[in-house]
């Protein structure tokens, strides 16, 4: 099992586009514990809210 993603790592956020993050939330990530969440568990709007929240960790870690 891979370790959970460290969302305070700003290098990760600079490499990933919002669409890539959305795709993983929607489709899951093969070979990991990340399962598909849209639309089974959350809406697309909620997925975008999660992406914005994840991005805020990087900003908070720079302060």
Tokens of 26: 């929607």
pLDDT band at residue 63 using 50, 70 and 90 as cut-offs: low
Residue carrying structure tokens 């956020």: 13
Model pLDDT for residues 14-35, shown as the tens digit of each residue = 999 999 999 999 999 988 888 9
Cα(60)–Cα(47) distance, rounded to whole angstroms? 20
Name the pLDDT band for 5 (thresholds 50, 70, 90): confident
């Amino acid at each position: 099992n891979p370790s959970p993603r460290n969302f305070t790592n700003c290098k990760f956020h600079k490499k990933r586009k919002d669409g890539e993050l959305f795709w993983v939330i929607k489709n899951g990530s093969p070979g990991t514990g990340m399962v598909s969440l849209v639309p089974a568990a959350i809406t697309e709007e909620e997925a975008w809210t999660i992406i914005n929240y994840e991005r805020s960790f990087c900003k908070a870690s720079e302060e």
